[in-house]
Amino acid sequence: MDSSQDQIIKEIPYIIRLYKDGRFQRLGGTDIVPPGLDPSTNVQSKDVVISHDTPLSVRIYIPKNANPDEKKLPLLIYYHGGGFIIETASSPTYHKFLNLVASESNVVIVSVDYRKAPEYPVPTCFHDAWEAIKWTMQHENRKGPDSWLNEYPDYGNIFLAGDSAGATIAHHVAIRAGSDNPGRVINLKGIVLLHPYFWGKDRIGSEDEHPFKAGPGDVWMIAHPGTSGLDDPLINPDKDPKVSDLGCSKVLVCVAENDLLKERGWYYKDILDKNGWQGSIEVIEDKSEGHVFFLFNPTSDSAGILRKRIGTFINHADN
C-alpha cells in the first residue's frame, strides 16, 4: 500500500484535515443530541425533514407556556456556524444555545441543518438556507406541513440570525429576501449577525497583527474551491453590488474584542452606510472575549448579556 496516500496536505485545527488521496476528516462539530423536552428551560424541540433528496432538515424550538390562542410568538430562523464545514443543527453546542434563546427571548426558532463542504461546496449552503425559508413560509396561512409552525409563530415578526459562517448565510438570505420579489417571500424585520465570518484579500484594522490571519482565507478556499478568491462577494460584502438590497430595516452585529473577525463586523456597518442601505445598524463589541464565546461558555455573564441583547432586539424591533 502506498503510504503516501495518508499524507496530510492541509490541516486547519479544530475544523478539518485533508489527505493527499482526497479523503478528509472533520476535527470537530460531529457530536449530536436528539431533540425533545429540555429539562433546564422546558423548551420543546423536534426535527423535521424538509427534503429527503437534498437532504435538508430543521430543528424547531417552542418555548415553555407558548399559547397560540393568546399570542403568536416572533419567529427566529437560525443558521449555525462552523466555517461552512463543521457543526450541525443537532450539535449539543447549538442545541443548548438555542434552548436558552428560545426560553429567554420567548421566540419560536427554526434551526436549519444545511449541507456542508467539502462534500457540498459553497454555495450549496446558501441554496439550502433559501429553501428552508420557502418551506417555513408555507405555514404563513396556517396550511403548511408542520403543525407547530402553523400554530405558534407570528409571520409578521420574522428575524434571521447566525454565528460565524451562519451569520454570513443570514446576511445573504436577507439580501435575497430584499432582491427577489421584495415582501412576497418573507416579511423580514431584522437580522442578528453574531461574529460574522466576512473576509477579504486586503487586511484591515488590526488583522495583520493576528497570529492566525491566514485562517479565514484557508477555510474559505476549502469550503468554496470554485471561488473567485478572497474578494468573492459571498465572503466579502464590500464587493457585493447587491449589498444595499438587504431586505430588512434593522441589523444587530455582535463582535468580540479578541476575535480575528471583529474588524469585518465593524466594517460591515460602513459598507451598508456607504452603499445607501436605509435601515439602522448597531455594532456591539464584547470586551475580553473570543470568537463565539457564547457557545463555548454559555453560563458566563457575557454570554447571558449577549442572549439578552438578542431578545431585546427581537422583542423591541419597532423601537
Whether 21 and 90 map to the same domain: the answer is no
Does 182 score more than 70 pLDDT? no
142 and 249 in a single domain? The answer is yes
How far is residue 57's CA from residue 35's CA, in Å, rounded to a whole number? 13
- Shared domain for 16 and 89, answered yes or no, is no
Whether residue 109 sits in one domain with residue 5 = no
Q: What is the pLDDT of residues 210-239, one digit of tens each?
A: 888 999 999 999 999 999 999 999 999 999
Q: Active-site positions?
A: 164, 259, 291
pLDDT in tens, 35-76: 999 999 999 999 999 998 999 999 999 999 999 999 999 999
Looking at the fold, whether 289 and 300 belong to one and the same domain comes out as yes
239 and 214 together in one domain: yes
* Listed residue (182, 196, 171, 308) closest to 262, CA to CA: 196
Range of the domain at 6: 1-30
Do residues 25 and 101 share a domain?
no
Judge if 236 and 260 occupy the same domain: yes
Q: Is the pLDDT of residue 319 over 90?
A: no
15 and 83 housed in the same domain = no
Domain CATH number, residue 212: 3.40.50.1820
Tens of pLDDT along 66-88? 999 999 999 999 999 999 999 99
Same domain, 54 and 3: no
Under 8 Å between Cβ of 282 and 191: no
Cβ partners under 8 Å of residue 260, min gap 6: 207, 210, 212, 213, 215, 216, 291
256 lies in the same domain as 144: yes
Number of domains into which the chain is organized: 2
6 and 37 in one domain? no
Using the structure block, give the residue that is written with the C-alpha cell 427534503: 51
